[in-house]
């Protein structure tokens, strides 16, 4: 009896020790994870110039880690692959839209602090770009489902977060405008333009370079939105005009690049604008008045980009018009890679104008925006070549050294003479 009680206590002690150990392990792991998240948060807020790449992968191998992707493969008739890719963050299959967004959210704080921000999804067709940026699409049209909030992608969540952050600021100090554009067959379409009956229909627009060297789309429709649901409603309507086409790889393949832009205008308040200097430089003419009013505003831009997927024609089995679309998609994506290559090599000429996509994204890719690339990788071993290409694109993007990102601030008014 005494022996079995002793045994019981020993077992109990060991169990208690186990429990204590695993509790300690869990706490340590939790602390490590918290530190990592804090570091990621800080690095996003402090992002200065370089491009960050996060990789969303429905795994090639079960042992991809939080920062590395290991591709290891031997196929008969092919050279064996054993390659490791390093990114700022790698998401595995079990990581939710919530987790992905939690890593993106700090960029939105930067947006209201005066930085331009661009988040861009890149990857092979069917790899999850639209899912990551918008959420699951409805079958009947291109709209995304807003029923299940946990499935919402970066675009709707980012808008909710922007409006939440604005609600914490003094009323009337910010306003938000939205534009929705698709680049299809190397043409730009304004998806919020309306016909004479007020019905949305995509009007062709052009992209130009302004005298200041910025890219601009004259006559583009900007709609003012006052809350996230107005925004979602508007974007969903615009999305129904987006071109899609079934392919052998993806039944609802996007055939165009989608660029949703939120322009935030910050109105100067007593804190961020020197009222004394304004009164000393009081406007004496309409031109001067307009100039003074402009000085009281700062515009920052959040560009959210769902690129069309790179595609191997042999795999997607497209013919006719869809084949033409594929050729335009692949050409514009290689123009994007060329631009990154030229920036990386610090060439004097950056070929932005080789495609409408790069011309449109010029200010975000080469300019002063904080840029995050969400790399999406297909889980299917059949698409290994395309996955390797995407992983290579992400690696190149990380090597690009850009100029410093610039914070927009209110200009200091010159003193009146």
Ligand X SMILES: Nc1ncnc2c1ncn2[C@@H]1O[C@H](COP(=O)(O)OP(=O)(O)OP(=O)(O)O)[C@@H](O)[C@H]1O
Closest approach, Cβ 153 to ligand X, in A, equals 8
The annotation status of 403 as a binding-site residue, yes or no, is no
**By the rule CB under 6 A, 231 interacts with ligand X:** no
Closest approach, Cβ 250 to ligand X, in A, equals 4
The annotation status of 309 as a binding-site residue, yes or no, is no
Closest approach, Cβ 127 to ligand X, in A, equals 4
| Nearer CB in complex with ligand X: 333/360 | 333
Among 110, 125, 236, 358, interactor with ligand X by CB under 6 A = 125
**By the rule CB under 6 A, 254 interacts with ligand X:** yes
| Nearer CB in complex with ligand X: 130/160 | 130
Closest approach, Cβ 314 to ligand X, in A, equals 16
Stretch that binds ligand X, among 120-128, 174-182, 206-214, 270-278 (CB under 6 A): 120-128
The annotation status of 279 as a binding-site residue, yes or no, is no
8 Å CB contact between 191 and 223: no
Q: How far apart are CA 188 and CA 185, in angstroms?
A: 8
Q: Determine the distance from the C-alpha atom of residue 290 to the mean position of all C-alpha atoms in its chain, rounded to a whole number.
A: 34
DSSP 348: S
Six-digit token string for 261: 């832009």
Pairing of β 52-57 and β 369-377 = parallel
Binding pattern for the stretch 301-330 against ligand X, x by CB under 6 A and - elsewhere? -------xx---------------------
Binding pattern for the stretch 367-386 against ligand X, x by CB under 6 A and - elsewhere? ---------x----------
Six-digit token string for 236: 């969903």
Q: Which residues pair with 183 in a beta bridge?
A: 188, 257
The annotation status of 130 as a binding-site residue, yes or no, is yes
Among 110, 221, 253, 364, interactor with ligand X by CB under 6 A = 253
| Nearer CB in complex with ligand X: 125/364 | 125
Among 110, 116, 130, 261, interactor with ligand X by CB under 6 A = 130
Stretch that binds ligand X, among 126-134, 198-206, 223-231, 293-301 (CB under 6 A): 126-134
Six-digit token string for 215: 């890219």
Six-digit token string for 67: 């920062």
**What is the DSSP code string of 109-160?**
HHHHTT-EEEEEEEEBTTSSHHHHHT-SBPSSSSPBP-S-GGG--HHHHHHH
Q: How far apart are CA 255 and CA 326, in angstroms?
A: 8
Provide CB contacts within 8 A for 1, sequence distance 6+: none
The annotation status of 125 as a binding-site residue, yes or no, is yes
Six-digit token string for 50: 């370089």
Q: How far apart are CA 364 and CA 341, in angstroms?
A: 15
8 Å CB contact between 40 and 103: yes
8 Å CB contact between 115 and 265: no
| Nearer CB in complex with ligand X: 136/351 | 136
Among 85, 87, 115, 131, interactor with ligand X by CB under 6 A = 131
| Nearer CB in complex with ligand X: 220/322 | 322
* Numbered residues of the known binding site: 123-130
Which residues contact ligand X (rule: CB under 6 A)?
A: 123, 125-131, 136, 250, 252-254, 308-309, 376
* Numbered residues of the known binding site for ATP: 123-130
């Amino acid at each position: 009896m005494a022996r079995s009680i002793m045994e019981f206590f020993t077992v109990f002690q060991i169990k208690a020790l186990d429990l204590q150990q695993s509790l300690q392990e869990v706490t340590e792991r939790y602390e490590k994870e918290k530190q990592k998240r804090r570091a990621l948060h800080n690095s996003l807020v402090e992002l200065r110039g370089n491009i960050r790449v996060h990789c969303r992968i429905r795994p090639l191998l079960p042992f991809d880690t939080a920062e590395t992707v290991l591709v290891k493969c031997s196929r008969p008739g092919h050279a064996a692959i054993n390659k490791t890719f390093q990114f700022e963050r790698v998401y595995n299959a079990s990581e939710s839209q919530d987790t992905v967004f939690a890593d993106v959210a700090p960029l939105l704080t930067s947006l209201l602090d005066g930085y331009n921000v661009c988040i861009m999804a890149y990857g092979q067709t069917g790899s999850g770009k639209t899912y990551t940026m918008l959420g699951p699409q409805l079958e009947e049209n291109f709209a995304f489902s807003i029923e299940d909030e946990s499935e919402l992608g970066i675009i709707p969540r980012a808008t909710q977060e922007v409006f939440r952050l604005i609600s914490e600021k003094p009323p009337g100090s910010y306003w938000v405008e939205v534009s929705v554009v698709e680049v299809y067959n190397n043409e730009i379409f304004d998806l919020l333009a309306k016909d004479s009956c007020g019905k949305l229909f995509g009007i062709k627009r052009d992209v130009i370079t302004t005298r200041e060297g910025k890219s601009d789309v004259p006559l583009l429709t900007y709609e003012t939105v006052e809350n996230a649901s107005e925004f979602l409603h508007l974007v969903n309507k615009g999305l129904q005009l987006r071109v899609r086409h079934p392919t052998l790889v993806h039944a609802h393949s996007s055939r165009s690049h989608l660029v949703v832009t939120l322009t935030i205008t910050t109105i100067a308040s007593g804190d961020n604008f020197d009222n004394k200097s304004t009164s000393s430089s009081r406007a004496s003419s309409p031109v001067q008045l307009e100039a003074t009013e402009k000085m009281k505003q700062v515009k920052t831009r959040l560009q959210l980009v769902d690129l069309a997927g790179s595609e191997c024609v042999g795999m997607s089995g497209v013919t006719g018009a869809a084949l033409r679309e594929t050729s335009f998609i692949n050409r514009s994506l290689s123009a994007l890679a060329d631009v990154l290559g030229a920036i990386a090599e610090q060439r004097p000429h950056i070929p932005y104008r080789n495609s409408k996509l790069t011309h449109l994204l010029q200010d975000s890719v080469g300019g002063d925006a904080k840029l995050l690339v969400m790399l999406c990788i297909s889980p299917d071993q059949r698409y290994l070549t395309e996955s390797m290409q995407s992983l290579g694109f992400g690696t190149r993007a990380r090597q690009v050294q850009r100029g410093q990102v610039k914070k927009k601030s209110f200009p200091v008014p010159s003193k009146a003479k």
